[in-house]
Copies of this chain bind each other. A is one copy, B any other.
Amino acid sequence: VSKTAVSFAFNAPERLSAETAGRIRDVADSLGYRPNPLARMLTQSETMTLGVLTPQALGVMFANPFFAQFSGGVADAAAELGYELHFISPLHGSLGLAMVRTTVDGVVAIGLSAAHPEVGQIEAAGLPMVLVDSDDLSGRGSVVVDDEAGARAAAEHLLTLGHREILVLAVDGPASETAGPRARGVMERRLAAYRSALAGAGVVLEQDHVVACAATIDGGRAAFRGAWAAGVRPTGVLAMSDAMAIGAIRAARQHGLHVPEDLSVVGFDDIELAADLDPALTTVHQPIREKGVTAVRLLVSAISDGGGSKRVTLETRLVVRASTAAPGRRHDLPP
């Protein structure tokens, strides 16, 4: 019984006499022997693992239901194609540090600007990668949604309802992530669309009417509270994620506001629970799971075919529910 035989028994049973193969497997089993996957990976230089790259700690990522839903899509597509999943987030604050230690056959990067240093680094390492929610500067694969249309619809909805005093809640990564030259990421695109839609109705967004925060409930809450403390008194808020919208609603209630009577809020994402909230959230729908599935399919085809890097754009649409209404009684309320 030589090494080769064992190797064949596991990887190419057809190249061995059925009897020998069986015997080897039996002995292996009874001995508790398993081929060491690491060694296998080393010789084959293939890990059958996909990386999911996130710009922030997974703890905050998972605090956004959008990310969980997206991950579900990624995971299902990966499993279907026989890949395992490895989550890569900044290690000691550095994504690069985390990448170096990681072995994957390809990477799905979510919410990472194409101008982010690590993106170039990964590309330089010759690792296939698809960018999700990020502008594609060079010829990489990428999947995005029609942010402009969604954001415009959201803004116009508020405008049509009669709102003029509008607060926008934008997403901001940690300082280190936003430093340096940036491509226009999702958030910039959405902001621009908000702006132009509002401008069409003669409404301009003041500096203090755009506040950045983490894409989580707590982020949204803190942001709304901060704006309110700064004297901003909106009748409508445009949040760039549902999680932030929920946070804003929580904060507004703490200030004695009723939604939607005193304050209308529209989110972005249409997470699974959006319709179950109180009030049911008016929001921009995007196909979250599909985004993940598409990203993985693109990535795997790039890995195997070495295939060309396509760019896929998915649709968005406004879903009007109960968190928006015409501005009613103004809030002459406690600070």
A positions within 8 Å CB-CB of B: 32, 34-35, 37-39, 41-42, 45, 47-49, 57-63, 65, 67-69, 71-73, 75-76, 79, 82, 84-92, 98, 100-103, 124-125, 217, 246, 249-250, 272-273, 276-280, 289
Given contacts A65-B68, A79-B91, contact A125 B277 (CB under 8 A): no
Which B residue's beta carbon lies closest to that of A78? Answer: B58
From B38, B89, B278, contact of A42 by CB (8 A): B38
Number of copies of this protein chain within its complex: 2
Interchain CB contact under 8 A, A84 and B86: yes
Chain B residues with CB under 8 Å of A273's CB are 65, 217, 246, 273, 277
Please, how many angstroms separate the alpha-carbon atoms of A69 and B67 in the complex?
11
A129 to chain B minimum Cβ distance, whole angstroms, is 15
Given contacts A37-B103, A38-B47, contact A72 B59 (CB under 8 A): yes
Interchain CB contact under 8 A, A62 and B58: no
Interchain CB contact under 8 A, A272 and B89: no
Interchain CB contact under 8 A, B89 and A86: no
Q: Other CB < 8 Å A-B pairs besides A58-B76, A87-B87, 14 of them?
A: A37-B100, A37-B102, A38-B42, A38-B47, A59-B75, A59-B76, A63-B72, A68-B71, A75-B89, A217-B273, A273-B273, A276-B277, A277-B278, A278-B280
A103 to chain B minimum Cβ distance, whole angstroms, is 5
A229 to chain B minimum Cβ distance, whole angstroms, is 22
A74 to chain B minimum Cβ distance, whole angstroms, is 8
